[in-house]
């Protein structure tokens, strides 16, 4: 397993739409393992392949208290969303140190393939629902800050660009 580099907003690669995985094979399983290690190391509760510059429809999530219940979603597809909305304070590994409220459907149903290529469906609410929607947005090239006002997005973008320059200067 290897740690992958997480792209930071406003990197344009975060806006690429991910392609479906054609076959769950050894290569995909290695990507999943590397993504899981990267997510746990960050630490985070979810990671989409887009965030590590792999533009395939792969998501890893672990919302358990002990971070020992890895969930893998390959080619996830939203098949139902409740009309009821819920607001959550979201953060993102691609937008470090920034959190804001986002309204999303409270309950969703998702169809995907697991790590062995077997299709499954899951109904999710609470943090899992938010995390799944957030990561699936990444696969569509959308970052959570795009739900915020233009003023907030611009402020975040400037802050992230400044942070990137400071990090380069430290090397």
Catalytic residue list contains 135: yes
In the set 56, 77, 119, 135, the catalytic residue is: 135
Flag whether 138 is marked binding. yes
Flag whether 15 is marked binding. no
Flag whether 92 is marked binding. yes
Decide if 123 contacts 107 (C-beta within 8 A).
yes
For residue 150, report the phi and psi dihedrals to the nearest 5 degrees: -60, -40
Decide if 140 contacts 52 (C-beta within 8 A).
no
- Written as one string, the DSSP assignment of 33-98 is HHHHHHHHHTT-SEEEGGGGT--BSEEEE--STTS---EEEEEEEEEEE-S-EEEEEEEETTEEEE
Binding residues: 92, 134, 138
Residues classed as catalytic? 135
């Amino acid at each position: 397993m290897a740690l992958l580099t997480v792209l930071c907003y406003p990197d344009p690669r975060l806006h690429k739409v991910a392609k479906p995985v054609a076959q769950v094979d050894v290569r995909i399983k290695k990507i999943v393992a590397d993504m899981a290690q990267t997510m746990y190391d960050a630490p985070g509760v979810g990671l989409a392949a887009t965030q590590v510059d792999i533009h395939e429809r792969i998501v890893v999530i672990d919302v358990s208290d002990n971070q020992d219940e890895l969930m893998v979603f390959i080619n996830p597809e939203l098949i139902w969303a409740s009309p009821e909305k819920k607001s959550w304070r979201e953060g993102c590994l691609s937008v470090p140190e920034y959190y804001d409220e986002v309204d999303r459907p409270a309950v969703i149903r998702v169809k995907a393939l697991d790590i062995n290529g077997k299709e499954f469906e899951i109904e999710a609410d609470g943090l899992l629902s938010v995390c799944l929607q957030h990561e699936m947005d990444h696969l569509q090239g959308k970052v959570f800050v795009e739900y915020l006002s233009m003023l907030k997005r611009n402020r975040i973008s400037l802050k992230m660009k400044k942070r990137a320059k400071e990090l380069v200067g430290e090397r």
